[in-house]
Structure 1
Amino acid sequence: MQLYKVLFFALLLKVANSNGVTYEDEMVLRLTNEINNWVKTGVESQELQSLLDNLAFPASLKRSNWNDFTSKRNTITCVLCRSVFDSLIEFYKNGMSVNDIKSDVIKLCTRLNFGTERVCNGSVTLNLPTILHIIDAKPNLTASSICGVIFESQSCPLIIGDEFKWTINIDSSPPKLIDDYENENIINIIQLTDIHYDRNYEPFGNAYCDEPTCCRRGQNDTNTSNKVAGYWGDYNYCDSPWHAVVDVLEQIKATHQVYHGTWETSFEGNFESINKTYYQIYKTFRNTPVYPILGNHESHPVNLYAPETITDRNINTQWLYNLMAHLWINFGWLPESTRSTILKGGYYTVTPKKGFRIIALNSNVCYSYNWWLWYQPKDPYDQLQWLADTLLQAEKDGEFVHILAHVPANDECQGTWKREYLKIVNRYARIIRAQFNGHTHNDEVQLFYSNDNSSTVNNVAWNGGSATAYSNLNPNYKLYIVDSKNYAVKDIENWMYNLTLANENATQRPLWYKSYSFKEEYKIPDLSYNSLQSWLYKLARDENLLSRYYRNFFKCAEPSLEKECNMVCMRAYVCRIFTSLGDYPSYCN
């Protein structure tokens, strides 16, 4: 067994050094054949046992983002992904019943330590109908394409076929200049993202479990660690209890006079939770304008946003768009004119004030875990073409723009969609005054670099962090201080509370505090692109400054900061800031 393990990893190392073609394909073929023989005979051969033992996910990586894996782990996971999907596709095309496929995939999922039997059962049951529908509709779909979309990395590349070579028509005329006058008057904008309300959160329940989300009713029988779920939430992979959701809304109402709110709520996706949370937002703020967008957790199953052509009510997303149009418009947050695009794909645009436009996108469609990308890689709902056309009209009308989107234009966004989005931002950078994202739960920023001058910042996307503590983070929200004339962000305040202290005083409301002002924290005169460029240059070289950014990235949460991380380690977080069509990683080495 030990000799086999050494040979196995030596083989994978050779794979990585040979661009992952011959040897990786050979490993996939061997594992696929062994899986198929196991399904046919019911006997797990010694070679399959060895392969599965060596490929099985370490417990420490079960909740990790697959896009963050090292090259070696990414290669192993790609082999695993391709083998499982090769087998699944073969089972289905050879006429195996859906129930038998489901049973075998659950066994594989459990055997490979992706989750407990209960988690694997639930995940496979929810996702299998969508996957089989796509296989039916796409007879040429391969495991390599599926895994290439999920990982899209050097270790697991997406072989770009014609379906992924789509482009958006972007106006090529020179950008129109708009008078960019500053103003002493300001407006305050609140960004609250990733609430993650869990209807089943159980204070003082089990905070340490072998499932994707802990602190839930029914998990107490597995609590052998004595880690008890906190009253206000918990660092240990737990979503938010209802009273914590209410508290953050009450805190914002009591503390800030806000012009409008950017609500990027990512709920545990179901009809009741969405209704309950949006009603609470409405009840709390009443006449305060709210501009909501969809997160990846609202859909059911989670992450899956189906194209318009999918009419099967069991797997489409139309129920969600119908619900959002009803709630968002009936609460008076959005005008009737937004209904058509919300129903089409969960996106919209409004002009709250002359000269100012808000564009709210459904960027969840580009998320690499949205299986519908296998079915229709081209821009679903024609959203990016609509974005380019809307920005062109905004430019003609002399409007400045804020863009709201949940999934940022990072490595978790499918490459073609990300590329086209960056091209649009580059063309209309002069009128896009800021972008606001969520999803990562971290306190971070992305700087966009001009295609014409790779050393020049021409746009910025601010991340709101998360109201949930999931995982190993303190809850937070952001206050943006914005120029009321040109809508540029003048400063940012981060508001949060220490979850450990909050849980130690469970009978009292959490002690919210302003953890920093961006200008004061990083000692910069303003948030202009020139100042941010200078800040970034210094960040990569100044240990004290980088340590501050690193602490703020994890929102000062001790469980995250306990991990040892030197200057080399922390520079990886600088790399996340660069966003460009060019070879931006070279800047952060």
Structure 2
Amino acid sequence: MQFYKVLFFALLLKVANSNGIVNEDEMILRFSSEINNWVKTGEESEEFQRLLDNLTLLSSLHRVDWHSYTGETSNAICTVCRSVFDTFIEFRKKGMSANDIKSNVIKLCTRMNIATERVCDGVMTLNLPIILYIVDTKPNLTASTICGVVFESESCPLIDDEFDWTVNIDSGPPKLIDADDSEEIINIIQITDIHYDPNYEPYGNANCDEPTCCRRGQNDTNTNNKVAGYWGDYNYCDSPWHAVVDVLEQIRATHQNISYVYFTGDIVDHGVWETSFKGNIESINKTYSQIYETFRNIPVYPIMGNHEAHPVNLFAPKTVTSNELNTQWLYNLMADLWINFGWLPESTRHTILQGGYYTLSPKKGFRIIALNSNVCYSTNWWLWYQPKDPVGQLQWLADTLLQAEKDGEFVHILAHIPSNNECHAPWKREYLKIVDRYARIITAQFNGHTHNDELLLFFSNDNSTTINNVAWNGGSATAFSNLNPNYKLYIADSKNYAVKDIETWMYNLTLANENAAQRPLWYKSYSFKEEYDIPDLSYDSLHNWLSRLARDDDLLSRYYRNFFKRAEASLKKECDTKCMRAYMCRIITSLGDHRTHCS
């Protein structure tokens, strides 16, 4: 449960037409006025009660992605966002204390059934100091800008000129590098989204009233006897430690001749209302130590996920120097761990400390660029404070790729949050322009974050019918939520580092929990080439595959099943061809109108 849900998620029901409210401006005025009166008097008027009753969130909608809504519901969500922020920004300017703001928002949160009082309190306690710092130090910040950053939709547009920034990208023609295939291969393992939960309780409560379940202390709310599995759970539960260890041991025991391990982030659990610096540091240290002990002499190239930060998602710019607010503790920790384990050279420390990103060349002619794409996440509140290319990372990326091109290097890019997944629009636009310019040398990208088995195909800016790059998603080692745990093996060309095939490995969580005394039965779920009957993973072949996906319902159904990692907990939901096609459309990434490829 993120802070944005605490504040805005309530208008998923009936609100657009409730009580005679006919347009957005009227709704904002009426709701803002009623909040004002309620805060000042402590009493709910009949009008306020009617509004709140219509805004109250059903428990079944607590975990629904607000981005999936369109039309009147999307308008309503933006209206609530602007109403709440307009009201409390004005209260703050008039001198309302942090404690009073916190108390009132917690009451509003629980009154609307957005979360339990414990969760509302925890989220506000963690996030409010940062939000108030931003509001206090940026007096021109408006509710329209805040909601535009968070939602960035037709209903809630971002029209603030401060957010329209660009990166200087070399305009010269791409340099041609010999990219012929070789017969020799290398093996690359990708592990992502472990989400280790120190509070995981096997046989505890798997159906709680909090954002994350299966945790100690939640049994008093278990009314339907759904208990947490020993190896994890399909419900909204993270990973017990023995499941984390098992995936690492499975990789070491099964796969020989691993050249590199890519770890694409998210160690920390989803208990975002009660994280702490101490708890995050302990989980990060414990997990990276286990990774090191498992792989020893195999190079590991890690990046951080949005959950490593405390509070979750929040990556502050360098100008914020307060130890209570900035992200320097995390950058310091990661630099020390990654370098001291021998995975990275000392030369990477400077940019890791600058913003959590780095580059290195593990072999002549090959470069890895590891980004901290978490700064672009639409729920990184610091974007309100400093929207322009946080810590100059994209400019650094463009400059690093230009030098790699001059040096004749092929490149892999690692980034936790994919460029099309809730990433701030200016960042996404500039990132796509950079990829388009250097597509000839970027032979693969690797993402995490979504937990699903998916990919992104990048279409050329000059030719909207041509694919010129691909980003593979590693899925997740956690079962959160309604998924089977997995990792991936990439078979790559040893000369140009293009991916030749992918093996997805997983286990059936239901069967694993039925035989809890035994280790899970890992198996190769599929090879990409074999599953989809394609000759190779070249851009032409992937384009043909995408075209087949649009007209072959059986192929689309297979992709849909693999997207959810064959987990029956997800696949039992009804989804017809039109529904499945939406998952196909997620594949397409371009600067233009990608819907033309999904018709």
Is 1:81 the counterpart of 2:81? The answer is yes
Is 1:50 the counterpart of 2:60? The answer is no
Q: CA deviation at 1:82?
A: 1.3
The residue number in structure 1 matching 2:183 is 184
Name the SS of the counterpart of 2:306 in structure 1.
coil
What is the 5 A alignment of 1:272-287?
Answer: 272-287=282-297
Equivalent of 1:9, from 5, 11, 16? 16
The residue number in structure 2 matching 1:222 is 221
The residue number in structure 1 matching 2:325 is 315
The residue number in structure 2 matching 1:204 is 203
> Relative to structure 2, which stretch is displaced further, 54-63 or 527-536?
54-63
Q: CA deviation at 1:7?
A: 8.8
Q: How far apart in 2 are the matches of 1:227 and 1:70? A: 33
The residue number in structure 1 matching 2:564 is 554
- Give the paired residue count: 577
For residues 226 and 7 of structure 1, do their structure 2 counterparts lie closer, same or farther at Cα, with a shift above 3 Å needed? closer
Is 1:364 the counterpart of 2:371? The answer is no
Which amino acid letter does the alignment assign opposite residue 578 of structure 1?
Answer: I
Deviation track 1:258-306 (CA, whole Å, cap 9, x = no partner) reads 1101102302261110000000101111111000001000000000000
Equivalent of 1:509, from 493, 503, 519? 519
Is 1:298 the counterpart of 2:308? The answer is yes
Deviation track 1:420-456 (CA, whole Å, cap 9, x = no partner) reads 0000000000000000000000000100000100000
What is the 5 A alignment of 1:216-295?
Answer: 216-257=215-256, 258-268=258-268, 270-295=280-305
What is the 5 A alignment of 1:100-119?
Answer: 100-119=100-119
The answer (yes or no) to whether the contact 2:15–2:55 under 8 Å persists in 1 is no
Which amino acid letter does the alignment assign opposite residue 332 of structure 2?
Answer: N
Q: CA deviation at 1:89?
A: 0.8
Which amino acid letter does the alignment assign opposite residue 491 of structure 1?
Answer: D
The residue number in structure 2 matching 1:449 is 459
Is 1:472 the counterpart of 2:482? The answer is yes
The residue number in structure 2 matching 1:121 is 121
Q: How far apart in 2 are the matches of 1:8 and 1:406? A: 35
For residues 13 and 368 of structure 1, do their structure 2 counterparts lie closer, same or farther at Cα, with a shift above 3 Å needed? farther
Q: CA deviation at 1:88?
A: 1.7
Which amino acid letter does the alignment assign opposite residue 10 of structure 1?
Answer: N
Q: CA deviation at 1:573?
A: 0.6
Name the SS of the counterpart of 2:50 in structure 1.
helix
> RMSD value over aligned CA atoms?
1.5
Is 1:173 the counterpart of 2:183? The answer is no
Which amino acid letter does the alignment assign opposite residue 228 of structure 1?
Answer: V
The answer (yes or no) to whether the contact 1:575–1:588 under 8 Å persists in 2 is yes
The answer (yes or no) to whether the contact 1:12–1:72 under 8 Å persists in 2 is no
TM-score by length of 1: 0.96
The residue number in structure 1 matching 2:24 is 24
What is the 5 A alignment of 1:568-579?
Answer: 568-579=578-589
The residue number in structure 2 matching 1:494 is 504
Which amino acid letter does the alignment assign opposite residue 224 of structure 2?
Answer: S
Name the SS of the counterpart of 2:551 in structure 1.
coil
Q: How far apart in 2 are the matches of 1:212 and 1:337? A: 40
The answer (yes or no) to whether the contact 1:235–1:471 under 8 Å persists in 2 is yes
Q: CA deviation at 1:60?
A: 2.3
The residue number in structure 1 matching 2:6 is none
The answer (yes or no) to whether the contact 2:502–2:528 under 8 Å persists in 1 is yes
Deviation track 1:108-159 (CA, whole Å, cap 9, x = no partner) reads 1112222111100000000000000000111011111111101101121112
The residue number in structure 2 matching 1:162 is 161
Which amino acid letter does the alignment assign opposite residue 9 of structure 1?
Answer: A
TM-score by length of 2: 0.95
Q: How far apart in 2 are the matches of 1:402 and 1:573? A: 25
The residue number in structure 1 matching 2:9 is none
Deviation track 1:187-239 (CA, whole Å, cap 9, x = no partner) reads 01011000000010000000001111000000011111100000000011001
The answer (yes or no) to whether the contact 2:16–2:76 under 8 Å persists in 1 is no
Which amino acid letter does the alignment assign opposite residue 70 of structure 2?
Answer: T
Q: How far apart in 2 are the matches of 1:171 and 1:61? A: 47
Which amino acid letter does the alignment assign opposite residue 293 of structure 1?
Answer: I
Is 1:33 the counterpart of 2:33? The answer is yes
Name the SS of the counterpart of 2:537 in structure 1.
coil
The answer (yes or no) to whether the contact 2:299–2:343 under 8 Å persists in 1 is yes
Q: How far apart in 1 are the matches of 2:322 and 2:245? A: 36
For residues 7 and 433 of structure 1, do their structure 2 counterparts lie closer, same or farther at Cα, with a shift above 3 Å needed? closer
Name the SS of the counterpart of 2:308 in structure 1.
coil
Is 1:382 the counterpart of 2:375? The answer is no
Equivalent of 1:566, from 557, 569, 576? 576
Segments of structure 2 that go 5 or more residues without pairing to the other structure are 1-11, 269-274
Q: How far apart in 2 are the matches of 1:11 and 1:587? A: 38
The residue number in structure 2 matching 1:544 is 554
Q: How far apart in 1 are the matches of 2:265 and 2:512? A: 22
For residues 69 and 344 of structure 1, do their structure 2 counterparts lie closer, same or farther at Cα, with a shift above 3 Å needed? same
For residues 12 and 450 of structure 1, do their structure 2 counterparts lie closer, same or farther at Cα, with a shift above 3 Å needed? farther
Name the SS of the counterpart of 1:25 in structure 2.
helix
Which amino acid letter does the alignment assign opposite residue 96 of structure 2?
Answer: M
Q: CA deviation at 1:52?
A: 1.6
The answer (yes or no) to whether the contact 1:38–1:45 under 8 Å persists in 2 is yes
Q: How far apart in 2 are the matches of 1:59 and 1:434? A: 41
Name the SS of the counterpart of 1:230 in structure 2.
coil
Is 1:134 the counterpart of 2:144? The answer is no
Give % identity: 75
Q: How far apart in 2 are the matches of 1:56 and 1:338? A: 49
The answer (yes or no) to whether the contact 1:196–1:265 under 8 Å persists in 2 is no
Which amino acid letter does the alignment assign opposite residue 321 of structure 2?
Answer: T
Q: How far apart in 2 are the matches of 1:513 and 1:408? A: 27
Q: How far apart in 2 are the matches of 1:93 and 1:377? A: 22
The residue number in structure 2 matching 1:393 is 403
Q: How far apart in 1 are the matches of 2:423 and 2:235? A: 26
Is 1:325 the counterpart of 2:335? The answer is yes
For residues 234 and 147 of structure 1, do their structure 2 counterparts lie closer, same or farther at Cα, with a shift above 3 Å needed? same
The answer (yes or no) to whether the contact 2:191–2:477 under 8 Å persists in 1 is yes
Which amino acid letter does the alignment assign opposite residue 239 of structure 1?
Answer: D
Q: How far apart in 1 are the matches of 2:18 and 2:591? A: 34
The answer (yes or no) to whether the contact 1:12–1:75 under 8 Å persists in 2 is no
Q: CA deviation at 1:72?
A: 3.0
The answer (yes or no) to whether the contact 2:14–2:54 under 8 Å persists in 1 is no
Q: How far apart in 2 are the matches of 1:303 and 1:555? A: 26
